[in-house]
């Protein structure tokens, strides 16, 4: 998977600084899990945080903080090497990107898709992010109505593809859209297009597919 | 929006703090120095080196965490936890990938998101993402340039236009969302984002210039 569309650098900066909501962070993490370019860029945004950290004057810690820490060291042994990494994503085509497991489970096959319109299904994320994060599956060769976005939306293509004025979006690609974008996605023929989308409006759909679905999904 | 001509940026408490004094020692400004201390922790379990790292960075982590909104007592607990992670994971620190300060920033941020923001998946996800780069990439490319020199970045941050520097600090040290920053500064979100993009481009250039 070699993505061609990446999150905007400001999105990575927000992720790096801890300012991104958990729904948006989940989509960014999913992309990071397959994109080395963005992992390298994230190291650069983290380096800004590190530099700022070292430039600041500290706040004094309470007396005894050093002794408390020292006392804990005796119970802990430094680990020389990392524990072996459980081999996961990338090999089994049924596996979702691992950052999405807590929200949707591991397996595409086990997803319980809900019909929300002709050719369109979705799965809401579990937990607190349910209103902000969802999987969408759109049948191949489907054209969605022209629309703009009420708020920001971050979408990652997981399977299939779509085209719009911004280009061709294939697995791994990110559409990082703000309220200004107007477009008309058309899913590619062949296989359904599955994507994970985060929105910043809890009870109101916004964004490329979601806005098109709004008539079908009354909340 | 409300103020067409944004006022010149106020001096935040953080900026005051850093203007008061800078460490006199050259050593503590040098990332290589801290990487050497961490190597002593990793290879010899050197408690003195570790406590030296704590003495320097502990109060800085405290300011960072309090700035993010943690209560002082909670921040202290997180500093302790962060330092214990540093001790336990000293062998995983790779000076070619990050400065000690960047590594500490990441550890403290992750603990903050985990415990203060209460996002239970964040720590595991970050561990998985970090381990991905332990493996060679599919095309055999090596990852990232060396960040062994933070001096260039130091100057580049000082050289940013005040408005950009302020946005960077609000973003990193208050974990404010960009729309929140836009509201506070009375500027359109697009303006904040383009300022942050410009700031990043300058800082990235400084990072990549480093030997």
* Residue A176's CATH number: 2.60.120.10
Among A23-32, A207-216, B103-112, the minimum mean pLDDT is found in A207-216
Q: Give the pLDDT confidence score for residue A89 in this predicted structure.
A: 47
In a domain, A63, yes or no: no
Q: Give the pLDDT confidence score for residue A118 in this predicted structure.
A: 82
Q: How many Å is the maximal CA-CA distance in chain B? A: 59
Q: Which residues of A touch B148 (CB under 8 A)?
A: none
In a domain, A77, yes or no: no
Q: Give the pLDDT confidence score for residue B6 in this predicted structure.
A: 44
Model pLDDT for residues A61-119, shown as the tens digit of each residue:
999 999 999 999 887 776 655 555 555 545 688 999 999 999 999 999 999 999 887 88
Q: Give the pLDDT confidence score for residue A132 in this predicted structure.
A: 83
Mean pLDDT of A24-46: 94
CA distance, residue A71 to nearest chain B CA (Å): 11
Task: Judge whether B84 and B58 are in contact, CB under 8 Å.
Answer: no
CA distance, residue A209 to nearest chain B CA (Å): 23
Q: Give the pLDDT confidence score for residue A192 in this predicted structure.
A: 95
ipTM of the complex: 0.85
CA distance, residue B158 to nearest chain A CA (Å): 10
Distance separating alpha carbons of residues A62 and B74, to the nearest angstrom:
12
Distance separating alpha carbons of residues A92 and A104, to the nearest angstrom:
16
**How many domains are contained in chain A?**
1
Q: Give the pLDDT confidence score for residue B16 in this predicted structure.
A: 43
Q: Which residues of B touch A55 (CB under 8 A)?
A: 18, 154, 157
Higher pLDDT, A99 or B11: A99
Q: Which residues pair with A182 in a beta bridge?
A: A148
In a domain, A86, yes or no: no
Model pLDDT for residues B113-138, shown as the tens digit of each residue:
998 888 888 999 998 898 887 765 45
In a domain, A146, yes or no: yes
Q: How sure is the predictor about B202, in pLDDT bands with cuts at 50, 70 and 90?
A: very high
SS3 of B12, please?
Answer: coil
Buried b (16+ CB within 10 A) or exposed e, B152-163: bbbebbeebeeb
**Partner-chain contact B101 A80, CB within 8 Å:** no
**Partner-chain contact A52 B169, CB within 8 Å:** yes
pTM of the entire predicted model: 0.85
Domain architecture of chain B: domains with CATH: 27-129 (1.10.1740.10), 149-211 (1.10.10.10)
In a domain, A29, yes or no: yes
Model pLDDT for residues A157-192, shown as the tens digit of each residue:
999 999 988 899 999 999 998 766 667 789 999 999
Mean pLDDT of A17-46: 93
Model pLDDT for residues B17-41, shown as the tens digit of each residue:
444 444 445 677 788 899 999 999 9
Mean pLDDT of B152-164: 88
In a domain, A74, yes or no: no
Could you list the residue range(s) of the whole structural domain that residue A145 is in?
1-54+92-219
pLDDT at B146 over 60: no
Tokens of A52: 């700022």
In a domain, A81, yes or no: no
SS3 of B24, please?
Answer: coil
Mean pLDDT taken over chain B = 82
Q: Give the pLDDT confidence score for residue B160 in this predicted structure.
A: 94
Exposure of A188 in the CB half-sphere (CA atoms within 13 A)? 15
Unique residue bearing structure tokens 């801890």: A18
- Any idea what the Cα angle at residue B108 is, between residues B102 and B111, rounded to 5°? 140
Q: Give the pLDDT confidence score for residue B154 in this predicted structure.
A: 81
In a domain, A40, yes or no: yes
Q: Give the pLDDT confidence score for residue A32 in this predicted structure.
A: 97
**Partner-chain contact B172 A40, CB within 8 Å:** no
Q: Give the pLDDT confidence score for residue A64 in this predicted structure.
A: 94
Distance separating alpha carbons of residues A131 and A202, to the nearest angstrom:
5
**Partner-chain contact A80 B42, CB within 8 Å:** yes
Name the strand (E) or helix (H) holding B9: none
CA distance, residue B8 to nearest chain A CA (Å): 21
Q: Give the pLDDT confidence score for residue A209 in this predicted structure.
A: 58
**Partner-chain contact A33 B21, CB within 8 Å:** no
């Amino acid at each position: 998977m070699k993505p061609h569309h990446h999150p905007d650098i400001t999105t990575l900066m927000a992720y790096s600084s801890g300012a991104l909501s958990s729904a948006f962070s989940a989509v960014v993490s999913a992309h990071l899990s397959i994109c080395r370019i963005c992992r390298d860029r994230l190291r650069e945004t983290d380096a800004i945080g590190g530099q700022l950290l070292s430039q600041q004057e500290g706040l004094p810690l309470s007396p005894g903080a050093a002794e408390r820490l020292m006392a804990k060291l005796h119970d802990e042994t430094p680990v020389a090497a990392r524990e072996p990494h459980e081999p996961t994503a990338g090999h089994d085509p049924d596996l979702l990107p691992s950052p999405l497991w807590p929200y949707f489970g591991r397996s595409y096959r086990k997803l319980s898709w809900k019909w929300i319109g002709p050719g369109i299904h979705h799965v809401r994320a579990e937990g607190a992010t349910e209103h902000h994060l969802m999987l969408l599956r759109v049948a191949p060769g489907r054209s969605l109505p022209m629309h703009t976005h009420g708020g920001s939306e971050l979408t990652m293509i997981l399977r299939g593809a779509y085209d719009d004025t911004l280009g061709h979006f294939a697995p791994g690609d990110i559409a990082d859209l703000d309220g200004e974008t107007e477009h008309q996605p058309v899913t590619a023929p062949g296989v359904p297009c599955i994507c994970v989308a985060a929105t910043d409006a809890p009870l109101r759909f916004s964004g490329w597919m979601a806005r098109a679905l709004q008539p079908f999904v009354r909340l | 929006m409300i103020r067409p001509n944004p006022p010149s940026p106020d001096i935040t408490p953080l900026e005051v703090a850093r203007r008061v004094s800078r460490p006199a020692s050259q050593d503590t400004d040098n990332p290589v120095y801290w990487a050497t201390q961490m190597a002593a922790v990793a290879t010899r379990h050197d408690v003195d080196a570790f406590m030296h790292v704590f003495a320097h960075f502990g109060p800085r982590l405290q300011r960072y965490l309090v700035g993010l909104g943690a209560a002082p007592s909670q921040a202290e607990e997180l500093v302790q936890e962060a330092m214990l992670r540093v001790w336990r994971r000293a062998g995983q620190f790779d000076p070619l990938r990050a400065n000690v300060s960047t590594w500490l920033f990441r550890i403290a941020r992750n603990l903050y998101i985990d415990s203060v923001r209460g996002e239970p998946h964040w720590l595991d996800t970050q561990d998985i993402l970090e381990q991905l780069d332990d493996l060679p990439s599919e095309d055999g490319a090596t990852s990232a340039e060396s960040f062994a020199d933070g001096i260039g970045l130091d100057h580049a941050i000082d050289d940013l236009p005040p408005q950009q520097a302020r946005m960077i600090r609000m973003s990193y040290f208050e974990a404010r969302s960009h729309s929140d920053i836009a509201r506070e500064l009375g500027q359109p979100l697009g303006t904040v984002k383009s300022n942050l993009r410009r700031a990043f481009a300058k800082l990235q250039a400084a990072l990549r210039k480093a030997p």
